[in-house]
């Protein structure tokens, strides 16, 4: 009798598993993969949902489907989009959200709030700022056989690995909520038949205040996180051009406080290999040293310029403030007052450890 | 007047480890970080240690009372305060255990609704869970013990998932190590104690343990393991979230699962929430068992009828509570009662018991 009871009890969950409220069949859903937000006016904004639809039949290619609507809230837009979609819209698989630059300049608080509040949205979601209208980026054809959404996601994802700091919804939120740091997002633009990542957008609170170029984004990445890819191209004092490949780099921020005055130092260590330098003897110690010095100078100069600019904007995307907060004598008021004026040094240390496979 | 249970209904002393640990880890762990951080910032992990230590002390107190009384709380109350006053307090204890089951059940159903099935009304989940809990509790204490054992076993793999958020860890978040004032830390400790509540159920199931005094060390191990789990959870949460961000996240651990990236699973939280059911089920089962056992000892009703009444009550009260504010209020009320019970009532009981035993002997 007891055994029977046990069996019954253990069977119940299994049987109930079949009783989900409304079974969702993948083919019957409109899976949205990219969302775009465009500026309309102070109150309303335009939302665009990009999804791909695979028509029945063997070897059929995905067809791009784009829905657009205007409203005051994301939910209202979703409702309007639903009105013109043939199947229920599901946003659990969204991989990329595009904010138009104009919208970002006016603030993206509403959109961010709606994204993070929704339980079906993951935290690996990619966020980007676009120069063109987000709608135009989603609603166009690229020279790829993939679906458009997948192509867009791939381009951004690949760049996060290689050229710009890794940033996703989670990282953005960490910066966004921090009292001592400001968020930043990748900047994308369309170029002919391609999408390309063209730099970083720097935010202050939820508003876009500045953009930095693609080259500077790479310097930003070196200052921001440790990584192991990318190229430096520098001109030596003799006028020769060389290229140094980044094998591994590691930044460290040191914040000091003396007599109530803060100073910060970025210590960046780069190990690289000189790979391209025609007419140069890459095995010669002196040449290597010259390359090291030149790259150090390149990093220092560009980084200093960039950090200056952040200070002028009073934005802190490199989270120097977070580092300062970790000191036990941290005083937020003092820090805020001093940040834009304080001394921030860059110390780069470059080691060219290899020089390719030929002598 | 209060006979001890038969030998074949008892469990081995080491099961106390599972019973106490299962009771302490409940729905609280999905979101306790936010509450302690609101009081003491990221230094509040210290509060986990201090409140854990105080719980160890209270378990010691409990065992002194139980070893001396050598029976459950109902018998001890009757012995110390007589049939009527003692009975009244035992009745309150019974209701307290019931409210514990209620809080856990309602909070879990809230998670289910918010995260997984927003369009399903709560009574369906409540009914299913109560039905399941009822069928386990009718099996008696040994079955309830088995449920706790399995619950812990099923829940353990979830600890492995903590690895994923660590990829996004920012260990600097924990610095500076001590920037909370003693008053803030005390407040956080108080909040933290609520998560350790549940060990009091030992007052009801003590007679069901073979050689009760021997189980004391297992009770300590149970509490220590709970402290470890809470510390680990808090550590991962603190390095993953920014402090301000955490303050606005109701279920930190659930939100943390959103970063988990498995090949075949896009949204791990749904799996996590389902597995979590096995962790909260023992809470409901033990709570219901203790409540119905208390009624059975106090009034001439069988435990089964008491259980039926409690199950019905559980169903109706759970359905009446519909929104976040009400659930929050319920959680706060029960935890306040629990707090005063363990910190004031238990030590008082120990002293009272000591005095009365002395007088009776003399």
Rounded CA-CA distance B279/B293 in Å is 22
- Rounded CA gap, B99 and B327, in Å? 12
Per-residue pLDDT, B258: 85
A121 interaction partners in chain B (CB closer than 8 Å): 258
Confidence band for A276, pLDDT divided at 50, 70 and 90: low
Q: List the single range of A40-49, B21-30, B151-160, B175-184 with lowest mean pLDDT.
A: B175-184
Cross-chain Cβ contact A177/B248 below 8 Å:
yes
Residue with tokens 């951080």: B37
**What pLDDT was estimated at residue B246?**
87
Note the pTM of the prediction, 2 decimals: 0.86
* pLDDT of the residue at A88: 82
pLDDT mean over A162-180: 88
Interface test with A, best of B110, B167, B238, B259 (most A CBs within 10 A): B259
| Average pLDDT rounded to a whole number, residues B144-162 | 90
Name the closest residue on chain B to residue A113, using Cα atoms: B248
Region A22-33 average pLDDT:
76
Kindly provide the ipTM of the predicted complex, given to two decimals: 0.80
Kindly report, residue by residue over B73-123, the tens digit of the pLDDT: 888 888 888 888 988 999 998 999 999 899 999 989 988 888 888 888 888
Report the pLDDT value the prediction gives residue B158, as an integer from 0 to 100: 87
Tokens representing A73?
A: 């809230």
Separation between Cα atoms, residue B141 and residue B335, nearest integer Å: 25
Q: Which residue has the higher pLDDT, A14 or A306?
A: A306
Tell whether the model's pLDDT for residue B38 goes beyond 70: yes
pLDDT for A19 equals 57
Residue A230, phi-psi category: left (phi > 0), alpha (psi -120 to 50), beta (remainder): left
Q: Which of A174, A180, A225 to mutate to test the interface with B (most CBs of B within 10 A)?
A: A174
In this predicted model, what pLDDT tens digit does every residue of B224-269 receive, in sequence order? 999 999 999 999 999 998 888 888 888 888 888 888 877 777 788 8
Contact A179 B244 (CB under 8 A): yes
| Candidate from A9-18, A120-129, A268-277 with smallest mean pLDDT | A9-18
> Could you tell me which of A52, A54, A74 has the C-alpha nearest to residue A65?
A52
- pLDDT tens figures, A202-251: 998 889 998 988 888 888 888 888 887 777 777 776 677 777 777 888 88
Contact list, B275 vs chain A (CB under 8 Å): none
d(CA A274, CA A247): 10
Q: Is residue A110 exposed (0-12), middle (13-18) or buried (19+ Cβ within 10 Å)?
A: middle
Query: How near does any CA of chain B get to the CA of A81, in Å?
Result: 20
Please tell me if residue A120 touches chain B, with a CB cutoff of 8 Å: yes
What confidence tens digit (pLDDT) does each residue in B302-346 have?
Answer: 989 999 999 999 999 988 888 888 888 888 888 888 888 888 888
Please report the pLDDT score of residue B55 as a whole number.
92
Task: Say what the pLDDT of residue B193 is.
Answer: 84
Return the residue in B150, B244, B278 with the most chain A beta carbons within 10 A, the one to mutate for interface testing: B244
């Amino acid at each position: 009798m007891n055994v029977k009871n046990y069996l019954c009890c253990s069977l119940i969950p299994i049987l109930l598993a079949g009783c989900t409220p409304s079974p969702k069949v993948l083919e019957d859903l409109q899976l949205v993969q990219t969302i775009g937000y465009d500026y309309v006016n102070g109150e309303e904004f335009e939302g665009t949902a990009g999804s791909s639809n695979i028509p029945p039949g063997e070897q059929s290619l995905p067809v791009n489907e784009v829905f657009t609507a205007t409203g005051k809230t994301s939910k209202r837009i979703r409702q309007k989009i639903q009105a013109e979609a043939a199947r229920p819209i599901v946003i659990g698989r969204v991989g990329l959200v595009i904010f138009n630059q104009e919208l970002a300049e006016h603030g993206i608080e509403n959109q961010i709030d709606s994204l993070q509040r929704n339980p079906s949205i993951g935290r690996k979601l990619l966020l980007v700022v676009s120069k063109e209208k987000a709608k135009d980026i989603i609603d166009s054809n690229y020279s790829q056989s993939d679906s458009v959404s997948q192509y867009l996601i791939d381009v951004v994802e690949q760049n996060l690995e290689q050229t710009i700091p890794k940033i996703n919804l989670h990282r953005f939120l960490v910066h966004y909520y921090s009292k001592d740091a400001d968020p930043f997002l990748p900047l994308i633009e369309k170029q002919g038949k391609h999408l390309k990542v063209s730099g970083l957008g720097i935010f202050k609170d939820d508003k876009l205040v500045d953009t930095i170029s693609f080259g500077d984004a790479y310097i930003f990445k070196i200052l921001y996180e440790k990584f192991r890819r990318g190229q430096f191209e520098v001109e030596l004092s003799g006028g020769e051009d060389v290229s140094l490949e980044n094998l591994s780099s590691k930044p460290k921020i040191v914040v000091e406080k003396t007599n109530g005055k803060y100073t910060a130092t970025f210590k960046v260590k780069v190990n690289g290999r000189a790979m391209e330098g025609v007419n140069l003897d890459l095995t010669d110690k002196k040449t290597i040293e010259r390359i090291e010095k030149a790259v150090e100078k390149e990093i220092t100069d560009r980084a200093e310029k960039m950090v200056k600019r952040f200070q002028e904007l009073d934005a802190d995307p490199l989270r120097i403030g977070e580092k300062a907060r970790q000191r036990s004598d941290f005083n937020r008021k003092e820090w805020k007052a001093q940040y834009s004026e304080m001394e921030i040094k860059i110390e780069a240390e470059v080691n060219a450890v290899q020089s390719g496979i030929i002598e | 007047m209060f006979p001890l249970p038969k030998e074949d209904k008892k469990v081995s002393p080491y099961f106390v480890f599972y019973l106490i640990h299962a009771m302490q880890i409940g729905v609280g762990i999905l979101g306790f970080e936010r509450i302690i951080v609101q009081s003491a910032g990221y230094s509040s992990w210290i509060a986990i240690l201090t409140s854990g230590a105080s719980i160890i002390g209270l378990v010691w107190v409990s065992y002194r009372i139980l070893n001396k009384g050598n029976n459950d709380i109902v018998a001890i109350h009757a012995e110390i305060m007589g049939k009527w006053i003692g009975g009244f307090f035992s009745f309150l204890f019974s209701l307290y255990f019931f409210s514990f089951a209620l809080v856990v059940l309602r909070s879990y159903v809230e998670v289910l609704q918010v995260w997984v099935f927003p369009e399903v009304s709560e009574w369906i989940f409540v009914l299913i869970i109560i039905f399941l809990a009822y069928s386990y509790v009718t099996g008696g204490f040994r079955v309830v013990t088995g449920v706790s054992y399995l619950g812990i076993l099923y829940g353990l793999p979830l600890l492995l998932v903590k690895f994923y958020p660590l990829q996004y860890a920012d260990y600097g978040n924990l610095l500076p190590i001590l920037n909370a004032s003693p008053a803030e830390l005390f407040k956080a400790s108080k909040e933290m104690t609520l998560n350790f509540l549940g060990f009091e159920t030992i007052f009801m199931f003590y007679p069901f343990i073979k050689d009760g005094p021997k189980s004391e060390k297992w009770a300590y191990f149970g509490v220590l393991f709970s402290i470890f789990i809470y510390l680990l959870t808090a550590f991962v949460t603190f390095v993953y979230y920014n402090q301000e961000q955490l303050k606005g996240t109701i279920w930190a651990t659930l939100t943390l699962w959103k970063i988990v990236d498995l090949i075949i699973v896009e949204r791990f939280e749904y799996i996590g929430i389902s597995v979590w059911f096995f962790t909260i089920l023992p809470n409901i089962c033990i709570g219901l068992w203790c409540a119905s056992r208390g009624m059975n000892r106090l009034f001439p009703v069988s435990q089964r009828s008491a259980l039926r009444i409690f199950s019905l009550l559980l169903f109706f009260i759970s359905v009446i509570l519909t929104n976040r504010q009400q659930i929050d209020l319920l959680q706060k009320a029960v935890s306040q009662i629990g707090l005063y019970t363990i910190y004031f009532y238990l030590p008082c009981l120990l002293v009272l018991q000591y005095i009365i035993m002395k007088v009776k002997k003399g």
